[in-house]
């Protein structure tokens, strides 16, 4: 018996961090939830996180030999023109062989060559811009894009207004259901229901400044009676485990990576986080008061701009990376002691949530394909 013909064929490109990969997977799942005959192929950058995470989610992926431009003179920078030409050539072959109805770019190194090649081949393209400040690649690609899905208002300063639709950022389905799981979450992390819980996340790769700030303040958490779920990232795991061990009895739970993020959010009263697009979208969905520490090591300082989009609406507290070791715990402590401010931040951040972002983006993909 012949295999059933796909009703829709979509390429999704990009990656580099969880902030790009998880929304991409959410879009793929929304497309297939609407029609299981949809065939999705991912295109990522060789040796980046997506080459593991995407197959783990059950999707095929092709890797391109592409990387970003470094801020200093490196061999990678000298090789960039060669990588770009090679990646565009491979992207053209992928498009020719797969014959997609639509190509979607979620940001990250691979989205540039793939979307450019797709547009040149006459394939409708959709950009999913996750940040409040558009990156150079997406600004350049916008001239070729058929539709641009954004997560923040005011993106006309980066993109043609007639192509923009406000959809928000897709988040994992289990995150949206986190609020109902608090009792389960406290049991999972072996925490007391009688003491407040702080969740600290530095993104999928961890955050050195946040980790150092937390490590130096562990005795303050103990004195204040705050329990802590501390995601360190793999690179800090060994050091973090050694630092956390003396405080485990008082409710410190150190983990390199938290797979059950829905339970981590459900357990938390307040969250300390970087200001990546995915993290902010998840915080909006779960409606948690947050202290944001934007990473200074990202292009165009877009995490600070993401954070300010919330701070300006009284939806989060900001602590700058350079001041974190001195001020992070004090800012957290002030928020933990002010229940009225916690409620106001929670209400305001919840009002910014886009719960159906994955389904909205999937609908625009289908529209571009004429489905």
Q: What percent of the chain has pLDDT over 90?
A: 71
The total number of structural domains that make up the chain: 2
d(C-alpha 101, C-alpha 243), whole Å: 52
Same domain, 17 and 91: yes
Q: Is 280 known to sit in a ligand binding site?
A: no
pTM: 0.84
Is 4 domain-assigned? no
Same domain, 103 and 230: no
Is 2 domain-assigned? no
pLDDT tens for each residue of 116-143: 999 999 999 999 998 888 888 889 999 9
- Answer whether 222's CB lies under 8 Å from 250's CB: yes
| Residue 302: pLDDT over 70 | yes
Same domain, 226 and 245: yes
Same domain, 65 and 155: yes
Is 224 domain-assigned? yes
Average pLDDT over residues 324-345: 97
Q: Is 68 known to sit in a ligand binding site?
A: no
Same domain, 17 and 161: yes
Same domain, 182 and 312: yes
Q: Is 92 known to sit in a ligand binding site?
A: no
Same domain, 360 and 329: no
Of 112-121, 168-177, 201-210, 265-274, the one with minimum mean pLDDT is 201-210
d(C-alpha 270, C-alpha 198), whole Å: 5
| CATH code, domain carrying 143 | 3.40.50.2000
Is 58 domain-assigned? yes
pLDDT band, residue 301 (cuts 50/70/90): confident
The alpha carbon of 353 is separated from its chain's Cα centroid by a whole number of angstroms, namely 14
pLDDT at residue 323, rounded to an integer: 95
Q: Is 56 known to sit in a ligand binding site?
A: no
Q: Is 44 known to sit in a ligand binding site?
A: no
Q: Is 131 known to sit in a ligand binding site?
A: yes
Is 3 domain-assigned? no
pLDDT at residue 69, rounded to an integer: 58
| Residue 1: pLDDT over 50 | no
Same domain, 210 and 103: no
Same domain, 144 and 260: no
Domain range for residue 78? 9-169+355-368
pLDDT at residue 81, rounded to an integer: 80
- Answer whether 241's CB lies under 8 Å from 210's CB: no
Is 209 domain-assigned? yes
Is 110 domain-assigned? yes
For 95, the token pair is 């498009």
Q: Is 167 known to sit in a ligand binding site?
A: no
d(C-alpha 159, C-alpha 128), whole Å: 12
For 307, what's the count of Cα atoms within 13 Å in the CB-facing half-sphere?
21
Same domain, 33 and 65: yes
- Answer whether 20's CB lies under 8 Å from 105's CB: no
Is 53 domain-assigned? yes
């Amino acid at each position: 018996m012949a295999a059933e013909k796909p009703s829709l064929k979509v390429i999704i490109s990009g990656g580099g961090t969880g902030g790009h990969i998880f929304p991409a997977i959410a879009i793929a799942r929304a497309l297939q939830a609407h029609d299981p005959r949809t065939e999705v192929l991912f295109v990522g950058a060789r040796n980046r996180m997506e080459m593991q995470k995407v197959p783990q989610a059950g999707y095929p992926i092709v890797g391109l030999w592409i990387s970003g431009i470094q801020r200093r003179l490196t061999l990678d920078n000298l090789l960039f023109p060669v990588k770009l030409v090679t990646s565009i050539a491979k992207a053209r072959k992928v498009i020719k062989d797969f014959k997609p109805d639509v190509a979607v770019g979620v940001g990250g190194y691979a989205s540039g060559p793939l979307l450019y090649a797709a547009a040149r081949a006459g394939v409708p393209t959709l950009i999913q811009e996750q940040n409040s400040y558009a990156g150079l690649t997406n600004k350049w690609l916008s001239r070729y894009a058929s539709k641009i899905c954004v997560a923040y208002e005011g993106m006309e300063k980066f993109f043609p207004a007639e192509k923009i639709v406000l959809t928000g950022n897709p988040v994992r389905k289990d995150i949206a259901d986190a609020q109902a799981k608090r009792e389960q979450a406290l049991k999972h992390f072996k925490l007391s229901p009688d003491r407040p819980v702080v969740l600290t996340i530095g993104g999928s790769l961890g955050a050195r400044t946040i980790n150092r700030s937390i490590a130096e303040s562990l005795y303050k958490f103990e004195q204040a009676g705050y329990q802590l779920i501390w995601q360190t990232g793999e690179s800090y795991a060994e050091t973090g485990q050694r630092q956390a061990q003396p405080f485990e009895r008082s409710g410190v739970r150190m983990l390199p990576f938290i797979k059950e993020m829905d339970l981590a959010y459900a357990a938390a009263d307040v969250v300390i986080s970087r200001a990546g697009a995915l993290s902010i979208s998840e915080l909006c969905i779960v409606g948690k008061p947050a202290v944001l520490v934007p990473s200074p090591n990202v292009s165009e300082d877009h995490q600070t701009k993401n954070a300010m989009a919330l701070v300006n609406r009284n939806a989060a507290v900001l602590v700058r990376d350079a001041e974190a070791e001195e001020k992070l715990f004090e800012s957290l402590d002030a928020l933990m002691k002010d229940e009225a401010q916690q409620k106001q931040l929670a209400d305001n951040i919840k009002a910014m949530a886009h719960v159906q972002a994955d389904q909205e983006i999937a609908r625009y993909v289908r529209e571009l394909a004429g489905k």
